[in-house]
Chain A
Amino acid sequence: MYNFIIQSYSTYKGLFYWLNWPGYISGVLLQPFATVIMFAVLGRFTSNPDIVRAYALGIAVMGMAFILIGGITQSYSRERGLGATQFIFVSTANRLVNFLARMVLHYPNAALSFICGLLAAWLILELDFGTVAWNGFLIAALVLIFSLTAFGQLLGVLSVAVRDWIGIQGIANGLLLILSGAIIPVTAFPGFIQEFARLLPVTNGLFALKAAFTGAAFSAVSGDILREGITGLAYLAIAYTGFRVFEAWVKRTGTLERDAI
Chain B
Amino acid sequence: MNQITIIWPTILKEWKAQTMDTGHIYKYLGDAARSAALAWIVYQSGALETLAFVAVGVALISIWTGILTLGGWSLESELYGKTLDFTLISRSPISIILFSKNLAQALYEIPTGVVSFVTALLVVREIPQIANVASLSFSLVLALGGMVVIGFFFSALVVLVGGRAGFFMGIMPFVAVLSGFILPVWQLPVGLEVLARLIPSSWAMDAVWVSIGGIESWWVVVQSWGISILVSAGWFIATYYICVAVEKRIRITGTLSAY
A positions within 8 Å CB-CB of B: 17-18, 20, 22-27, 29-31, 33-35, 37-39, 41-48, 51-52, 55, 66, 162, 164, 166-168, 170-171, 173-175, 177-178, 182-184
Contacts and interface: CB of A to CB of B under 8 A. Distances in A.
A48 B173 contact: no
Nearest to B36: A178
Nearest to B33: A174
A52 to B, nearest CB: 7
A86 to B, nearest CB: 20
A24 B166 CA distance: 7
Given A41-B182, A166-B26, 17 more contacts: A23-B166, A23-B169, A25-B170, A26-B166, A30-B174, A31-B169, A38-B176, A38-B182, A42-B182, A45-B50, A46-B47, A48-B46, A51-B41, A55-B41, A170-B30, A177-B37, A184-B40
B253 to A, nearest CB: 21
B26 A171 contact: yes
B23 A27 contact: no
30 contacts: A20-B166, A22-B164, A23-B165, A26-B171, A30-B171, A31-B169, A33-B170, A34-B172, A34-B174, A37-B174, A38-B173, A38-B177, A38-B182, A41-B188, A43-B45, A45-B187, A46-B50, A48-B44, A52-B41, A162-B22, A164-B23, A164-B26, A166-B73, A167-B22, A167-B23, A170-B30, A173-B33, A175-B29, A177-B34, A183-B41
B42 interface: yes
Interface in B140-184: 161, 164-174, 176-177, 182-183
Contacts of B210: none
A193 to B, nearest CB: 13
Contacts of B42: 42, 46
Given A38-B173, A48-B45, A170 B27 contact: yes
B195 to A, nearest CB: 12
A114 to B, nearest CB: 15
Given A37-B173, A38-B182, A184-B36, A174 B31 contact: yes
Contacts of A23: 164-167, 169
Given A20-B165, A22-B161, A55-B41, A44 B183 contact: yes
Contacts of A30: 169-171, 174
B38 interface: yes
Interface residues of B, number: 46
Contacts of A184: 36-37, 40
B27 A167 contact: yes
B41 A27 contact: no
Point out which of B25, B41, B172 has the most chain A C-beta atoms below 10 A from its C-beta: B41
B69 interface: yes
A130 B173 CA distance: 29
Contacts of B167: 22-23, 26
A51 B45 CA distance: 7
Nearest to A170: B30
Contacts of A175: 29, 33
A109 to B, nearest CB: 11
B54 interface: yes
B148 to A, nearest CB: 21
Nearest to A178: B33
A138 to B, nearest CB: 26
Q: Which 9 A-B pairs have the closest CB atoms?
A: A30-B170, A23-B166, A174-B33, A18-B166, A167-B26, A170-B30, A45-B183, A34-B173, A26-B170
Interface string B216-237: 0000000000000000000000
Given A30-B169, A34-B170, A37-B173, A171 B54 contact: no
